[in-house]
Structure 1
């Protein structure tokens, strides 16, 4: 009888949940909200590609891999011609992504409505990527569909190319657009003259070209002008510091 009563008491204890309650696990909502807050903090410092920037952009907007500039700034930049700013952006160590012309020759077209250079883009010309636009195919795979790339040239003008007309692997000897040395701001010219060979070539160019701004020039003037252009690019690529220009978009 005692054994039967003990068994009944044991069954009653089990049926009433006599085992000790387990600790509750943290609610997933709390972890998710923490992750969201951390993510918001991490991205707060990086501007979005759609945002406007009143000053000069110093860091990539949106996707770091693409490294583009805010669209509002790009629109203003490409509505004018900014050769000093091009040199500033092309400086060694700048974060902006480079691209190179992948076809023999292209007539310049500014898809953002601003002016274009008269000089055609040529194979291996170095460009700076301002923004990229993917082709809208409604999610379908369409043969031949391609996006576009807005780029800045070394002369301070913008151009719009299809993604098939550029590549991102640097060639052995990248080319460049003609830089209008004569109209560069004095501060930019003086900074570039810290490059010793460039300073000497600038003096030689001035002597050979004798202040010519248009029309026919001598062969020696053309040669000196080309040499000076190449040295400007060499100076910027190798670390000569270019100041922020006074004229901004």
Structure 2
């Protein structure tokens, strides 16, 4: 810019016939103009709006824990609700089921309950499951069958008999890898009246009720005291229990009299009839 101004002044002087010296008043005028322009830029920069101030790190740290604590509180609240729901579900699963899972047109107890039931021995629970009004599907043996429990729990030494009534607990499906295999029809886990579980082949069970179903004997000595008291209080069952105690003198196996064997069978049939007809039973003490 200075060069252009000097050139212009020289051109003006030459037209007038007088060259303009560099140190003349014209140069001083140009230098003054340049100074004013520079001062104008400085003033303009100094008067510009300053950039927004950065937040104070201390204030940011103070706000951050509050947000974090709020988030953690929300998460903790959700966690507590989740634990409460899980606890309620776990507690409900420990109760004796009254509703069933439908599978292949059969009413079955929940699988988790069945697993615990067949891993132990719960004769009082068996009576509740077989009681009148229980929704679970009954099955009946098509032949005499050896008792074994695929779940690994207790099993009876007594064979399952033709026409014996059982409670169907679980439907086992044969895994053939997609191949059609003759005779691979799966099977069932069932509950007997004596409280033991048994594993059967599909062809060993039918759902049709026979004219005179049979029953595994109820293990009197293994029942809870409250359950035995409920039986003894019945006007029909109570006398048979007293007579059995008198004739058998506490023994039901080995060298017993014919009278003992007879009254023992009568008492067993009376116990089953009491349960099937809706006789009152206390809540079992031990649960799966």
Both proteins in one fold, TM over 0.5: yes
Deviation at 1:141, TM superposition (A): 3.2
Q: TM-score, normalised by structure 2?
A: 0.65
Which aligned pairs between 1:1-249 and structure 2 lie closer than 5 A? 53-63=93-103, 65-103=105-143, 105-212=144-251, 215-249=254-288
Alignment size in residue pairs: 197
CA shift for structure 1 position 210: 1.3
Contact 2:94-2:287 at 8 Å conserved across structures: no
Aligned to 1:234, what secondary structure does the other structure show? Answer: helix
Aligned twin of 1:40: none
Instruction: Point out where structure 1 has 5 or more consecutive residues left out of the alignment.
Output: 1-51
CA distance in 1, matches of 2:222, 2:175: 41
Kindly indicate whether the alpha-carbon contact (under 8 Å) linking 2:96 and 2:125 is maintained by their aligned counterparts in 1.
no
Runs of 4+ in 1 over 6 A off after TM superposition: none
1:25-65 Cα shifts (integer Å, max 9, x gaps)? xxxxxxxxxxxxxxxxxxxxxxxxxxx92222111025483
Taking the aligned partners of 1:219 and 1:99, their CA distance within structure 2 comes to 32
- Partners of 1:54 and 1:236 in 2: CA distance: 22
Alpha-carbon distance, 1:166 to partner: 0.4
CA contact (8 A) 2:252 2:260 kept: no
Distance 2:276 2:191 in 1: 16
> Could you tell me how far apart the structure 1 residues matched to 2:163 and 2:236 are?
25
RCO greater where, 1 or 2, for CA within 8 Å and sep 6 or more?
A: 1
Q: Which runs of 5+ in 2 are unaligned?
A: 1-91
Displacement of 1:246 in angstroms is: 0.2
Query: Which structure features the higher share of helix residues?
Result: 2
Separation in 2, partners of 1:192, 1:95: 23
Distance 1:64 1:147 in 2: 13
Q: Distance in 2 between matches of 1:196 and 1:221?
A: 20
Structure 2 residue matching 1:99: 3-state secondary structure? strand
